[in-house]
Amino acid sequence: MTTLAALEGMDRLSSGDVLVAQNVAFAIMAITMVAAALRMVTTRNVVHAALYLVIVLAGVAGLFILLGAEFLGVTQVMVYIGAIVVLFLFGIMLTKGSFGEDDGVTGERRLMAGLVGLLVFGVMAAALVESFADAEISRSGPSTTADIADSIFSAYIVPFEAVSVLLLAALIGAIVVARKD
């Protein structure tokens, strides 16, 4: 049985070898993602922004698969591309309904948005460098779906259930907000 990662040519190399195909694939995906992300925040058309977001999210799914996290990559496609962006597009088209025209995305909050973005980037970068530094990811092989299921329903059962209850609360909250009476 192969996995998606094996199809990408991920051989089980010993630590230290350079994975040429992976690096090339990563470069292509990373450049596409950065370009799409930049266009997403600079375009003046909301629908285009949502479509650029699809490219970014697809790139994230690709990166997950490249790292051997197949289940995560597929979930990314299912949840973000298949559901969340569809809801974005649905909402935009339902409420604005203007096509072709410039939707007038205003730039008045650009400065604040930029500051927040920088701050998030700084915190994330610092945290990642702090905790991983020179650590290499394990190349012992891609994670299997069964392993993920086992860890969710044994070691992480409490957080998993807590998240479920949180989502249920959000669901009920949405209904309460949407009700008129």
Given 22, 48, 60, 103, the residue binding another protein (CB under 8 A): 48
Instruction: Please report where in the chains the tokens 């697809």 appear, as a residue.
Output: 58
Does residue 90 interact with another protein by CB under 8 A? yes
Does residue 77 interact with another protein by CB under 8 A? yes
43 phi/psi in degrees, rounded to 5: -65, 150
User: From CA 127, how far away is CA 45, in angstroms rounded?
Assistant: 34
Q: Which pair of structure tokens corresponds to residue 179? A: 């009700």
Does residue 74 interact with another protein by CB under 8 A? yes
Residue 143, number of CB atoms within 10 A of its CB: 18
Q: Which is nearer to another protein, 9 or 114 (CB)?
A: 9
Does residue 20 interact with another protein by CB under 8 A? no
Q: Which pair of structure tokens corresponds to residue 164? A: 């479920």
Task: Looking at residues 141 to 170 of the shown chain, list those that interact with another protein (rule: CB under 8 A).
Answer: 144-146
Does residue 36 interact with another protein by CB under 8 A? no
Looking from the CA of 17 toward its CB, the CA atoms found within 13 Å total 12
Q: Which is nearer to another protein, 83 or 172 (CB)?
A: 83
Instruction: Please report where in the chains the tokens 């092989």 appear, as a residue.
Output: 141
Interface residues with another protein (CB under 8 A)? 1-4, 7, 9, 47-48, 51, 54, 70-71, 74-75, 77-78, 81-83, 85-87, 89-90, 93-94, 97, 99-100, 144-146
